[in-house]
Every structure is written in C-alpha cells, then in structure tokens.
Structure 1
Amino acid sequence: MRGDRRRAGQVRFDDAAQVMVEAGLVDVDYVAAQLGTAFDSPEEAARAVVEAGDVSPHPLFEAQWIGRRRSWQRLGQHPALWYVAERRRRNRIAPHPLVDPRIIFAAHPEARHHPYGALSYWLSVSGPGTPLPTRILPRRVSWGTYRAAAIEAAAGWREEVVVQRPELVGPAPALTPVAGSSPAVTVVMAAQDAGPSVHRTVASLQAQTFVDWHLVAVDRGSVDDTAAVLQGMAAFDDRITLVREGRCGEARALNAALEHGTADHVAFLPLGREWLPEMLADLLAHARQTGAACVLAGVGAVGRSRHELLGGRPVDLATALLRRDAVEDVGGFDESLGGAVERDLLLRLTRTSEPVAVDVPVLRRPEPVPVGHGDDWGSVVLERQLVDWEAAAARETSEDLVSHVMPVGPEPRRTVEWLGSVPREGAELILVGVRLRRAHHVLAASIASVISGARFVSVPAAVSMSAATNVGLAQVAGSTVLLVRPEAMPPRQPIAQRLAGVLREEDVATAQPLVVDLDGVVLSAGARFGADNPHPELFLAGLPSSDAVRIGQNAVAAPAAPVVAVRTSTALALRGLDARFHSVLAETDLGLRAEQAGHGHAVVVPDTVITSRTAYARDEELIGALSSLRSTARATPSSPDPAVGLLLRAGLEVTDERQRRVSADLEDRSAPAVLVPQLVVRALDGIHESPPRLRWAVDIAAPAAPRGDRWGDTYFARSLADALERRGQHVAIDRRDARERDSRDHDDVLLVLRGLDRVAPRPGLLNVEWIISHPDMIEPEEVAGFDLVYAASTSWSERMTSAWGTRIEPLLQCTDTRWFHPDRAAPDTGPALLFVGNSRGVYRYAVRSALAIGADLTLHGNDWTEFVEREQIASGGVANEEVGALYASAGVVLNDHHLDMRRDSFASNRLFDAAACGARILSDRIDGLEETFSGLVVPFDNEHELARLVQPPYDAFPDGETRRRIATRIIAEHSFDKRAETLIDDAVRALLARR
C-alpha cells in the first residue's frame, strides 16, 4: 500500500516537472545555482525542483509572491503546476514582482490565449535584451540583465547559508518524495513565561536541515515578554505563527496549536529544549518509510515503546513525530486531566499500533542562560560581533546623499515596493536580511542589484530588528539616514530631502514624518510624556491628518514612527538603536538619548507623510517595549509639555489628562498591563468668531490611497476643502474607510459628498448631504436623515422635493479656478479633440463615438486598454493641476455622463472645468446646458452629429472673445469658493437655529 502511494506520488511529480518544461518555466542555470548541482536537461532540473520543495524553477516565477498556503498546498500540487493549469482564472496573477500581466497583454493581446498563460508566452517571444514587463523599477531593465542577477543571488544564498553556515539550513535532506501538503511538518509549541529561552529554542528549529515546517506557538497568557519575542521572530520568518490564549492548561494550548496545523506530521518543541539540526529530517524519513502513526527517539530512560510507557518510563514529546490524522482520530490532548497529558496521548495513540523507536540523537544538551538576560541579551552580543562602530564613524559620508536602512520584513511584496520607490538621484536604500529563506533572500538581492542606489546586506545570525538596522547603519554612505521599519509604506511623494533639510536646522537631532493608517487617520505625530508617567503617548493619535498639518512643524519629546531621519554622525555616535528593543520605541529611545547627549531635540514634519499598514504597536509588543524603555533609566524630557498650545492651533482644547490601560488580555485582570497617558480634548466653539469657524468632516466614497487618488471624488473634495480652509474653516477629508473614526465627535459638520456609498448621519453633528452623482441610488429615507440636502441638478432637486417632502436645494458642481481659467494656454494650440477621464470599466459613449467616426482623438486616462488600442492612449492620466492647460488649448473637449446623471440632468464636473477654460465642449444631451454654459457646451445625439461638430471652423460654437467672456462668468458663479460661501452660510444658520 505504501509502495503504491509512493509510486502515485512520483507520477504526480513527473507530471508537474513535464508541465513546467512545456511551459518554458525551467531555467537550468537558475535551478543549478540554488541546488549547487549541474543538470543535463531541463527535465532533470524540473524533477529536482519538484523533489527539493522550496526551490524556484525560473527567475521570474516565485511561489512566495503569489501567496502563502494557496490552493496548490491544499491539493498537494507544485505551485508552478497550479499556476499554469487554468490560464483564464490565473492569467491576471503576477508570478513575480517584475512580471505584470497587464503589460504583456497590452503589447501582445494574443498572450491571453496561450495555453500556459502570460509569462510563458512572454518568455517564448523575448530575448536577453527585451525589457522586463514591469512598472515598479525606476528604469528599464532587460531580461538578460535580471536573469544574471537572479542566478548570482541564488548562488550567493547557497554559498552563504548552505555551504558556509550549514548549521542554519544545511543541504536538502535525503527524504523520499511523497505527494502531500506543504508544509510537511507542523511544529507545536505551548509557551508561558519563558522569555529568556524563546530565541534559542526557535533558533534550533530554524537551524534544521529540513526546512518545510510551520511552527504554531501558543502563548498561554505570559506575564513576561514571551509573546513579544515570538512575534518579533515571526516578523522575520513567515513559517512562524503566534496564537494568543489566556491563562490555560497545557493541554488546551497544545490542542489550540494543533487546530492551526495543516501538515501531515506533528512535532512538539517545548520552550527551553533545543533540537539537533538533523532531528526533523531523521524522524520524518523514518515516518515516511514506515507509515507509522508515532515515531519516538531519544536516549536513556525515555519511553519508546508501549510496554515502556505502560511501565512508567518518562515521556518526552520533544523527541516524537506523530501523524496528524492519528492524533485527530484519538481526539487530541485530554483537557480534563490535570497532568500527564503527553503520556495519556501516546497511550491512546499506540493502543492499536506499536510506535517506531529509532536510536538517533535529537536533543542538544541545554546550556545555562545568563542571569538577568534573555533574548535581548543575545541580540546585544550578536550585534557587537556584527557592527564595527569605530570603523563606521571613521568613514566619510556625502552631504548630497540620503541613505535609507530597512530590515527585510516577512512579506517580499513590501520590500519590492521600497525598491521600486528609490529616487534615481540623491538616495540609497540598504536592505538588511536576517536569516532569510531562499525566496526572500533571492528576491531582495537580485532586484536590489539591478537598481541604482540599492544594496542588499545579509545577516545569517538571528538578531532583533533594531540590531539588523544597526548592521545597515554601519554601511551607509549618506550624511543623513532614514531608519525604516517594514510596516512603513513608501511615501507617495518624496520626503527624504525634506527631512534632511529639517535636520540642518539648529538644535534638531531627529525628524519624523506624520504617521497615518491606511484610512488617513493619524497614528503618531511623535511621543509626548505626561508629568507623572514615564510612558509616552502617541501625540495626535486618532485625529485627522489635517489637524497635524494645521499645527505645522513642531518639536516633540521624542520620535515615535516607523520612519525616522537622523544625521548619520549622530546615529553612529549613539551606536544606533538599542538592540534590546525588538522594533517599536527603539526610535523613541534613540531620540531621548540624542537629546540627553546634547545632539538636539526631535521634530515632527507634518507635510511629510508615511502610511503604516499596521497600528504603531500591538498591545503586548508595546508593553514589552515600555518595560525596556523604563529599564534604560534615561530621563524623559523635563521641559514643559507643549501639547496644550499645539492643540489650540488645531481648534482643540485640553480638558483633562487620564491614564489609559493597555493590557495583553483585556478580559484577564492578571495579564501584563501598563498605564499610558492620554489627553482629553474637545473642539473650541468657533461659531461666534468673526468669521465663524467650524470643524468639517468631508466624507467621500473614494477608497484609501493610492487607489482612491485617481477618483474624481478625491479631487473634488480637495478643492472644496481648500476653499473652505481659505474661509477660516477646519476641514478633514475622510475616505470611506475612515468614516468611523472616533474623533468625528469633535467636528461641527459632517458633509457627505454623495457618490457610490450611502453614509449614515452622525448623531450630534450638523449632517449635510451634497448629491453630486448617481441620483438613482438615492432613496427618500436617506435624505430625510440629513439636516441640509443639496443636489447638483436643478430639475431633479425640484422634482424630488415635491415627491419626497424633504427640501433639496440645487447646488451645481463647480471648478477650481486655480487650475482652470482661460489663461492656462493659447486656444487651438493643443489636441484637435480631447478626452480626459478613466474608463470606469466601460467603453464610454463619447470615446466610442469619436473613434467610430475616425476622429483625431487624444485620450488620457486609466483602464482603457481593454477597449482601445494601446497606441490610441496618450497617457494613463494627467495631474489635475495640468488638465486646465489641455482644456484651454484643445480644439474641442469631449464629455459624457453616467446614464442616470444624463437622465436627471446632473452636469458633470468636467463641464465646469472645461468651460472655465473657455473651451469648446461636445457632450451628450442633458437639460439646462444652454442656461448654465451659454453656448460653450453643444450637445450631440449621434455619431453623424459628432462628425459634423468636430470639424473646424467649429461654427456651432461662439468665437474666442465670447468664449472668454462666458468663462469669466463661469468662474464668478461656479467656483469652489462660491460653493464654500453657500455651505458655510447655511451651516452657520442651521447651527445657530439648532442652539
């Protein structure tokens, strides 16, 4: 039976290898570089890939890039076979960061019909000089150049990790290939209050010669830093999963770990025990050879047979490998027992079959941990071996260069994003990899090697993120360095030179950007300290970013951010980050030390923004970091807290300061907890000021950046917010994911720019809705919930007011006169026929009609390749500030509307922008065009009319002088400033009437 299973598995492996060869996804040289073995044919290399496990068949295929634990692992397939099996569903999946299927399809539409998908087709038609199909690199890189870099990176990984340091990974184990799930082994760990032994125990697992494992560590409500250390290690190794439980028995914790396992076999590694490097390989080989439900190893008095177990010999699950289905069949660990749960499990497991006993050494003799130290101590010692601070301080640096240092995080996608964002001039990026798996190492090293200004540094020792940062810091070439943690997204606009400029100001040691979450809400504007609490508060956390911008650049007690700028000389003099901090608060400690040493204070620069994918810190992580911060015994700033005065700039006053409890388990009062200060604020009452000043929350349907940056709603909201701000208002723009922020309670007005989403009114605020699009989505009960309602259509407002009984005021769309006016360009010097807009997933009426008549159309916008030829697209989009110049210079501007907007006469924003530039405009027909635009907008009902109207001399339109006069009127009557006046006046009247 077992022989039949092995033969079936071999057939499946041969099938996968053959498909990879047919798809062109086997690069013999690349496979040889990873395995250190020469191959005579692609078929031989493909079989080696399948048998070896974590090996990539091709430089442009990486399973780690297309996701963890996907379908192929559940099905027991090789990822390359899974990728090419169903081309229609997977054609859009990028198998590598430098392969964008959209680019391939745009250049080669026939690639959609290739039996093995986009990458296989591209490889079949490309040569060494063909540019890679990617948008993320700052310059064009040829396929041949990248292939050479990838082969070199793979060989470097093998030389460093496998050959020079075999104790870390070792050669591939000689295991019989068996078709099955990956990972092959789930390693189970129950942890409680054993922080000092975490690092050594897990390091012994990471040093296994067999690497296809998954560690599930269950923390049983530890009161020390056990969970924080495990989480820190998981950040660098995606094979580690931390599961948090409250205080519970060992049996409950082990069962919880088993529930998270997916492998065929289970091993048990208690904290404080260390495996020898061959342990998993040896036991798994025996398990596969025999098919046994239980394999037991060990020496001395440990029980390795049912007779010995029944006779009372001790049980040691750290020397056992069990089949997971067998453990499930007997019901796992008995949680009703007070003890001896391991013996009970093995006795139930061996009731029907004898365990296989093997005589192999599996455990390392335990070594004592120095008193008073633990994992932090180990990082400090390792860092001293890796960093020569004196040599680093003696090296010259360049004032014209800003260096970035970033440890490689658990997700390769984040690393690649930073690599693609490196400016071409004046910046360098140093990536530091810590005991990386092959996929992460090769991706980071190969891509960095083809990008100017990027370098990859590998650290084969297990160190904290702070220590890894120091390794990179010792190698920077710039006089300014940005210390970056992996959770920070690359900035949308360059910030490095701006922060470097702030560091040149007098008495400034560190500078940080404003840190916001994915919804645009502030996570941190630096650290502040209360008078009676040694713990810092994250300044402005939870407030909209507009409040921070209103406050402006300011000094804070210390930085608190995943990106911090510091003079290289200062960082080296302070010997970088303290390795006792795994990640968070390391920069806060650095800032405190810098000020104490006389280097200067910390500054927040709100006009530079970094988005973080995660909260600043998990609760248990913050608790551990605060403990480290207290243990440093460094004095917190003694100067008066400036927070009260700064908040007044944002229209907020401090009413109290309370202590907020941060706990590792809110339901367990005995769980580790700390108190952190928290200011209590309220909005100033500005309605009686002259002019009245209100706080506005402008709600839009656009998603979080950068996807939402392309939405017209976003541009509309920004222009409206600027107009309101020019009239003394405080305005925050909330995209759809930020509309539940708690700090909305400080606002006076919620203004919903109604697009695709229905938004619930906020109790206690003046709720205003402005319907600017999609009127068919509006229902009478929705508008009835708002205090004031406007609509961008005169006829629809009148009709619905009569039908629904709720007053709806007409308030047409408008234009931003800063960017749209007749002086932007000379008339008739630009495109003959112009359309600026995204496809929105449909072949829009105006574009389809223009191309049908063969018009000379200039098209700017996103997502058009599905409908028009690539050469017909002038660009993927134009900055909003530059569109006015195109409108003013065009012969004719095209416009169209959504069906419901056309039916209900909602004039689009594009009409007002183009009209303010004095442009000739052709549009689909809606009511009220003549009354609003006085002949600048001419409707067309069919392609025949369009063909006549687009021909010079444009007799259907007014002459140039008349168009300019009409544009001047449009600017006076339909600007964002005019709309802001209306909104403010109506809001003030409504609030005063309410009071």
Structure 2
Amino acid sequence: MLRRARAVWRHARSLPLLAPALREIDRLWWARTIAAADVVDLDYVRAQGGPRSSRAAIRHYTRVGYRTDFALNPLFMERLVSSQLPDAGRVPALYAYLISDAEDIEVSVAWDAVGYSRRVPGSRQAQGRELGHGWRAARSSGAIQLGRDSDGALVDWSSAHRQAREAAAGRVQRELPPLTGDVVVCRLARDEGLPARPLDEAVHAADGLSAALVLAVASGSTESATAAALLCAARAQTFLMLDDELLLKRVEDAAVDGTTLVVRGPHSEIPAQSLIRLAESAAQGPVAPLWLGWDGAVASAGRGVHGGRAFHLLSGAPSEDAVALGPEIHPWRIAGSTFARRVGVGSTAHRTLTELVVRAPASDEDVGRDASGASDTDVRSLVARRGWQVAGWGPSGPSFVRRPTSVSLADGRRVPSLRWALKIAAPPGLPGEAWGDTHFARGLANALRRLGQEVVIDAYAARHRSTTSLDDVVLALRGPEPLEPQVDAVSLLWIISHPDEIDSSDLDGFDAVFAASQGWADERSAAWGRSITPLLQCTDARRFQPHGVARTDRFVFVGTARGIARPSVVEPVRAGLPVDVYGPDWRGYIPSSAIKATGAPNADLPRLYEGARAVLNDHWPAMQRHGFVSNRLFDVVAAGGRAVSDDVAGIDELFQGAVATYRSVPEMLRILENDLDTVLPAGDRLQAIAASVRREHSFDARADTLLRTALALRS
C-alpha cells in the first residue's frame, strides 16, 4: 500500500497543475525531517556565507543548496551519500540518508559513520542517526575520531572544525613546508563528479608509498575542500592547497631532489594501486598511464613528434590496440595530467604503461605544439607490432591501415584474421562494469580471439571513434540504444534485448541480422520481409562451470532494481524467505538486511550460482513477451546452479528442467516455499544439463556462427 501511494505521489508531481504545489509540500517535509535531526552546524554554514539561523539554512539547502555544493554539516558529503541511495539526487541526500534503513551508508571519506555505528551501539537510532550522534558527541567531548576506523586518529574537534570552516570559506594555503619524502598530489576540479572516490584513492596511495599527501582543490569546492581539510586534521604529512597554475612548482620547490612525485589530475578515474605502480616506475624516468577519454577510446598513449609538431599517439584507437603494442610505449613526452616523475631529475626516457589506465576528459591541448629540434617518432615500427602501416598524416597525427593476415584453426580451416569491432550500449569505465552488455561483449570477444580474430570493444560513446576505418567487421550488440551499421565494413546486428524498441528501419544497412529469440525472429522476418536468424544468448563455458560448491539454503539474486520494485525479489523477501541480493540500487525497495552487497565480482559468480538454493531471475516485460531468454539463466545452469524465473517461451526446452518457471507471484512463492528438489534436478542429472548448456550455448559456439557468416558475406 505504501509503495503504491509513493508511486501515485511521484506521478502527481509530473502533472502541470499539481506539480508546483506538490514540490512545495516535498520541500516542507524534507525541511521538517532535517530540522528534527538536529544536524545543522551553524558556524560551518556561516563559513560558506549561508544564512544565520538553522531554519533559514535548512530552507536554503532543501530549495537549491543540495544541488549547488552547499552543506549543513562538515561530516556529510552530499555526492557520496547520493551515490549510495536510489532517491538521492531527486531529493536532498541528507533527507534520503535520514529516512533510510540502510546500515552501511558512508557519509564522508574523512569520518567513518559505519565504524562509528559499530563502536557506539544505538547511534543509528539516535536523532540524526550516526551523523547527528557523532557530531554532537564531538562537540560535547571536544574530540572526534577521523579517518577509517581501522587506522583513524582521535583529534581535537575545535581544531578540526576550524580547519573545515576555513576550507569552506575558501581560505586554503598556497605554500608548503619542506617535504622530506615522496609526494602524492590529488588535484580536484570544482565540478568533480564524486570527490570522495579520488580522495580515498589518494589516501590509500600515499599510505602505500609512505608519502606526503597534497590535496589540491579548485576555488569554490565546498564538499571537496571540507573533506580534504578533515583528512589533513587527522593525518600527518597531509596538506590542503589551492589548485592553480603554480601548484606543481610549489610542490617541487618544497620537495627534495630525487624524491618521487605522483600526480592524480582533475576528473581522473584511476585506482590507488595504479598510482602506486606509477610512483614505483618513476625511477626510470617520467611515466604515465594509458590515457583514455570519457568515451573509452584512447586520448593519448603519450606525445609523438612529426615534422617538428607534437601529436597524441594512438588517439581515437580502442584501448586494446595500445595494450597489443606491449606493456610500455616510449613516446617523445608523456601526456595527460596524471603521471609520476622524480623531482629535479631530468630525463628523456619517457614511458606510457599500457597496463595502467586513467580515464579523464580528452584534450587536444598538445596537438600541434612546437617540437622543433626533436626527432620524429618512429611510429611505423611502433604500430608494426599490431600489424598496421602508416597510411598518411594529418593535423592530429597519422592514419593507419591493417596488413591482411590469416590463421589456421583447430579444425584445419585457414581463415582471414579479421578485425572485429563489438559495439555495445554500455558506458565506458566504472559505470559500464554494472552492465551485462559489457561482460557479454568480453566473453564473445575472447571467443572470437580463440578463432584467430582481432577484436576491440567500443562503449556506446566511442561507437563513432576516429579509427573505425581499421575495422573489417562491425558487430552491433543491440540493447536499449540504437547502433548503426558501417558502410566500409561487414555489418552484423545481434539483437539481444529490448525488442520493443526496434523497428524495421533499425535493420537498414546491416548485412545480416540475428536475434536472441526464435519466435521474435520468425515473426519479424515475416512482418518486415527481412531475414532475421535466431541466435540465442549464451555463456562463457570456460568460466561458468561447476566447482563442487555445496548448496546452501539461501536464494540469490544478482542485478539492479531497474528503478522498480521487481516482484521476483521484493515478494520473496516480504514473504520472509532467505534471499541474498547483490545489486547497486535496492535500498528503498527491500530491507537493508537482505542486501548482501552492491555487486558481486564476475569471477565469484560461478560459485555463487552453484551454491545457491536457487537463483532468482526475471526478464524485462518486452523480453518475456517476445521470448528473449536472459543470459543469466545460461550462466546459472552452466555453473551447475538452478534457477526460478518468470516464464519465457523456450526455457523448458533449453534448460531441461533446471529452471522452474512461474506465471504469477503466488505461483512463484509456492515454488520457493516448497522443497525445490521435488521440482528441480540435482546430482548427475544437473551436471549433465550443465554440460549440455556449456557445449551447445557457449560464446565459442556463437563466435563460430558469427565468423562463418562474416566470411560468407566477405566472399
């Protein structure tokens, strides 16, 4: 009933006549909840130039402040909390935090709310939850433990609070004391998407290197500056500075010649371990990671020189091309704002480490820069390792062509080694790791490589990268976003999901079309007068296989909430069944006690599936209607697991009884509440079914079909 009321309320907000009044009611409710929590730090608010009363500060925060880097409490990071709660972003994160039942919400990179809750029983039930309890305790006792619980430091609250206020007011130091060891610099842009992540990675990198840490924030960055100031209060050899054009010179002037300087640039996505490896590699000269742009394509593998002008090596190529050239590339100069070098030590031996990756906005700043006097970079020898030749030169650098090659397969066939570009709808980088399309493409790419093919994967933003002319075959793995054919390559379309969003024009220009549903392929072929070949989803048979894991009494679900209360998860949890949920956005739909983790590493899935009492599964409504069987079911059964899923045409035949299906919620609950051994196979029978799925529905089987099709079309 409450869920339905919330849905009605959300719908009403979209109605033009009601929306303004309802938004005002929302704000009043948000303000009332925040006021009751007693978490407004007025001294901190005033340091930001905010109102002088708690009531006015809350009003400002709930109207515009939560979207404009205005904060009510120095221990609370808006964007960090927003990243953990489903409604935050639409509503103020502080309000979402206060009404959530989740026990593991991190509120600041500088103060461990989860650890505090463990140390102080009852703090989660206190006014303002852990935040309110911890903040009031710090004020009354005069001390607070900052940093992670495992290695935090007890510091004087008045001193830490003063530093937080000064940072929020923009009073950040510009000079450093003498530094005696290595230095990690973390530069944070004003519009840094999630500043908690780079701050946390920088702390871990500095700890791993036993280095000083400089946290450099852009002017006007309240959230970043406040968290950085609190980290400085808790850590030795940690300094907060303003990020300006003289920052690195000031750091080098304060450092001792010969020490290592490692810099994380603004907007850069790179883990602590990669920063540590950069620092360790700097003894041999300046070093940088492979720089990928936000689209996932290479922004630079270092700067090269041609005719006295600089250019970015491999700009626009997929990352696989850089990795194929070896672990190191030796450019004229490293590129990008993330790098490591020795202070005061000149060196011309610059290197790009292709096994380390940083994602940051691409830039043409160095393209065309004067490099007179520098020798031309030997690009021909470099790309020959990839089987490329230099076709010509333009203002931004060289263009390439591939040398044709062939390969002998295990079955005796001699086939061309084609370059395949797999296009997917997923975003690049960390966000794309939560997409099944990303892992599906990797499994298929590896299978094609086992057939001697050269394969790259293009995230959706890189589908039109500047180096597409190198590709022989384009395979569009069609999900929720449209993908286009390529006129100078064999173009294959494989529709694996969202069939309701596809019409006949989406097939135009493709040389062959496949669909992961027998029924839909037959129906649309007849309706559109276009041949569509059934090609079902599949599994990575080398990864998803039984490991002898004992079956537990727990049901398992892996996946996102999709912004809805999915009955396949919500109803079993509500019925009191033992369900472990692994997914990023379930808070607000099920109790936090049912959420095992925000995700499960792909390497852990085979054992997780095999050991489950049964894996819960459902399909997008359109996939269910049109017979598109989820690839998760192939993975589960191949791993020796069993599943309970909504009914989709073909499941019974495909999985020979290893997947129990239902048509209604009551039917699902009856299956789950009874002895599953009476409806699902076990022992040798289940092992035989798993072997059959791995043999007939593997990525290797699908790759063979696709290769045969591409070769036939080319001939």
Which of the five TM-score ranges fits, normalised by the shorter chain?
0.7 to 0.9
Among candidates 914, 917, 938, match of residue 639 of structure 2: 917
CA distance in 1, matches of 2:176, 2:133: 44
Q: Contact 2:290 / 2:300 at 8 angstroms: preserved in 1?
A: yes
Among candidates 397, 401, 405, match of residue 682 of structure 1: 401
Which residue matches 1:378?
none
1:520 deviation in Å? 0.2
Which residue matches 1:643?
379
- TM-score (structure 2 length as normaliser): 0.77
Which residue matches 1:426?
208
Question: Is 1:540 aligned to residue 314 of structure 2?
Answer: yes
Relative to structure 1, the CA distance from residue 468 to residue 100 in structure 2 (aligned partners, 3 Å threshold; closer, same or farther) is farther
Relative to structure 1, the CA distance from residue 102 to residue 544 in structure 2 (aligned partners, 3 Å threshold; closer, same or farther) is farther
Which residue matches 2:600?
878
1:961 deviation in Å? 1.0
Q: Contact 1:129 / 1:142 at 8 angstroms: preserved in 2?
A: no
1:137 deviation in Å? 7.6
1:815 deviation in Å? 0.9
Which residue matches 2:620?
898
Q: Residue 677 of structure 2: SS of its match in structure 1?
A: coil
Which residue matches 1:604?
352
CA distance in 2, matches of 1:451, 1:906: 54
1:107 deviation in Å? 4.0
1:843 deviation in Å? 1.9
CA distance in 2, matches of 1:157, 1:855: 49
Give CA deviations for 1:798-818 in whole Å, capped at 9, x if unaligned.
232233221111111111123
Which residue matches 1:151?
161
1:862 deviation in Å? 2.1
Which residue matches 2:682?
959
Which residue matches 1:977?
700
1:710 deviation in Å? 0.7
CA distance in 1, matches of 2:170, 2:480: 54
Among candidates 253, 269, 275, match of residue 490 of structure 1: 269
Give CA deviations for 1:86-144 in whole Å, capped at 9, x if unaligned.
xx99874557xxx69357523499xxxxxxxxx9955895343889xxxx986689999
Among candidates 184, 195, 198, match of residue 404 of structure 1: 184
Relative to structure 1, the CA distance from residue 126 to residue 457 in structure 2 (aligned partners, 3 Å threshold; closer, same or farther) is closer
Relative to structure 1, the CA distance from residue 529 to residue 159 in structure 2 (aligned partners, 3 Å threshold; closer, same or farther) is closer
Which residue matches 1:27?
41
Relative to structure 1, the CA distance from residue 687 to residue 449 in structure 2 (aligned partners, 3 Å threshold; closer, same or farther) is same
Give CA deviations for 1:307-350 in whole Å, capped at 9, x if unaligned.
xxxxxxxxxxxxxxxxxxxxxxxxxxxxxxxxxxxxxxxxxxxx
Which residue matches 1:739?
463
Give CA deviations for 1:357-390 in whole Å, capped at 9, x if unaligned.
xxxxxxxxxxxxxxxxxxxxxxxxxx9xx689xx
1:983 deviation in Å? 1.1
1:727 deviation in Å? 2.5
Q: Residue 680 of structure 1: SS of its match in structure 2?
A: strand
Which residue matches 2:294?
518
Q: Contact 1:754 / 1:771 at 8 angstroms: preserved in 2?
A: yes
Q: Residue 776 of structure 1: SS of its match in structure 2?
A: helix
CA distance in 2, matches of 1:527, 1:953: 61
CA distance in 2, matches of 1:950, 1:484: 52
Q: Residue 822 of structure 1: SS of its match in structure 2?
A: coil
1:957 deviation in Å? 2.2
1:822 deviation in Å? 0.8
Q: Contact 2:262 / 2:275 at 8 angstroms: preserved in 1?
A: yes
Larger radius of gyration: 1
Relative to structure 1, the CA distance from residue 712 to residue 423 in structure 2 (aligned partners, 3 Å threshold; closer, same or farther) is farther
Q: Residue 484 of structure 2: SS of its match in structure 1?
A: coil
Q: Residue 654 of structure 1: SS of its match in structure 2?
A: strand
Give unmatched runs, 5+ long, in structure 2.
1-30, 71-77, 79-85, 105-125, 139-145, 409-413
Which residue matches 2:477?
753
CA distance in 2, matches of 1:947, 1:826: 26
Q: Contact 2:215 / 2:240 at 8 angstroms: preserved in 1?
A: yes
Which residue matches 1:560?
335
Q: Contact 1:749 / 1:766 at 8 angstroms: preserved in 2?
A: yes
Give CA deviations for 1:761-808 in whole Å, capped at 9, x if unaligned.
222221111111122222223224311111111222223223322111
Relative to structure 1, the CA distance from residue 559 to residue 842 in structure 2 (aligned partners, 3 Å threshold; closer, same or farther) is same
1:431 aligned partner, one-letter code: V
Relative to structure 1, the CA distance from residue 137 to residue 922 in structure 2 (aligned partners, 3 Å threshold; closer, same or farther) is farther
CA distance in 2, matches of 1:902, 1:29: 56
1:963 deviation in Å? 0.9
1:541 deviation in Å? 0.7
Higher relative contact order (CA 8 A, sep 6+): 2
Q: Residue 819 of structure 1: SS of its match in structure 2?
A: coil
1:857 deviation in Å? 1.8
Relative to structure 1, the CA distance from residue 423 to residue 883 in structure 2 (aligned partners, 3 Å threshold; closer, same or farther) is farther
- TM-score (structure 1 length as normaliser): 0.57
CA distance in 2, matches of 1:832, 1:21: 41
Q: Contact 2:524 / 2:532 at 8 angstroms: preserved in 1?
A: yes
Relative to structure 1, the CA distance from residue 475 to residue 48 in structure 2 (aligned partners, 3 Å threshold; closer, same or farther) is farther
- Size of the alignment, in residue pairs? 632
Which residue matches 2:520?
796
CA distance in 2, matches of 1:438, 1:925: 51
Query: What aligned pairs does 1:364-443 form with structure 2 within 5 A after superposition?
Result: 395=180, 397=181, 403-411=183-191, 416-422=196-202, 424=204, 425-427=207-209, 428=211, 430-431=213-214, 433=216, 436=219, 439=222, 442-443=225-226
Relative to structure 1, the CA distance from residue 125 to residue 560 in structure 2 (aligned partners, 3 Å threshold; closer, same or farther) is closer
Relative to structure 1, the CA distance from residue 918 to residue 107 in structure 2 (aligned partners, 3 Å threshold; closer, same or farther) is closer
CA distance in 2, matches of 1:801, 1:455: 65
1:867 aligned partner, one-letter code: Y
1:840 deviation in Å? 1.0
CA distance in 2, matches of 1:159, 1:833: 51
Give CA deviations for 1:214-238 in whole Å, capped at 9, x if unaligned.
xxxxxxxxxxxxxxxxxxxxxxxxx
CA distance in 2, matches of 1:947, 1:123: 40
CA distance in 1, matches of 2:151, 2:393: 56
Which residue matches 2:453?
729
CA distance in 2, matches of 1:146, 1:706: 37
Which residue matches 1:616?
363
Query: What aligned pairs does 1:53-452 form with structure 2 within 5 A after superposition?
Result: 66-67=67-68, 92=90, 101-102=96-97, 105-107=100-102, 126-128=133-135, 148=158, 151-154=161-164, 395=180, 397=181, 403-411=183-191, 416-422=196-202, 424=204, 425-427=207-209, 428=211, 430-431=213-214, 433=216, 436=219, 439=222, 442-443=225-226, 445-449=228-232
1:754 deviation in Å? 0.9
Q: Residue 594 of structure 1: SS of its match in structure 2?
A: coil
Question: Is 1:594 aligned to residue 377 of structure 2?
Answer: no
CA distance in 1, matches of 2:707, 2:331: 34
Q: Contact 1:793 / 1:904 at 8 angstroms: preserved in 2?
A: yes
Q: Contact 1:515 / 1:523 at 8 angstroms: preserved in 2?
A: yes
1:551 deviation in Å? 1.3
1:423 deviation in Å? 5.3
CA distance in 2, matches of 1:791, 1:455: 56
Q: Contact 1:780 / 1:804 at 8 angstroms: preserved in 2?
A: yes
Q: Residue 286 of structure 2: SS of its match in structure 1?
A: strand
Q: Contact 1:555 / 1:602 at 8 angstroms: preserved in 2?
A: yes
1:850 deviation in Å? 2.2
Relative to structure 1, the CA distance from residue 704 to residue 137 in structure 2 (aligned partners, 3 Å threshold; closer, same or farther) is farther
Q: Residue 330 of structure 2: SS of its match in structure 1?
A: strand
Relative to structure 1, the CA distance from residue 144 to residue 944 in structure 2 (aligned partners, 3 Å threshold; closer, same or farther) is farther
Relative to structure 1, the CA distance from residue 144 to residue 89 in structure 2 (aligned partners, 3 Å threshold; closer, same or farther) is farther
Q: Contact 1:884 / 1:917 at 8 angstroms: preserved in 2?
A: yes
Q: Residue 562 of structure 1: SS of its match in structure 2?
A: coil
Q: Residue 101 of structure 2: SS of its match in structure 1?
A: helix
1:912 deviation in Å? 0.4
Which residue matches 1:187?
none
1:561 deviation in Å? 1.7
Q: Residue 422 of structure 1: SS of its match in structure 2?
A: helix
Which residue matches 1:550?
324
1:975 aligned partner, one-letter code: S
2:41 aligned partner, one-letter code: D
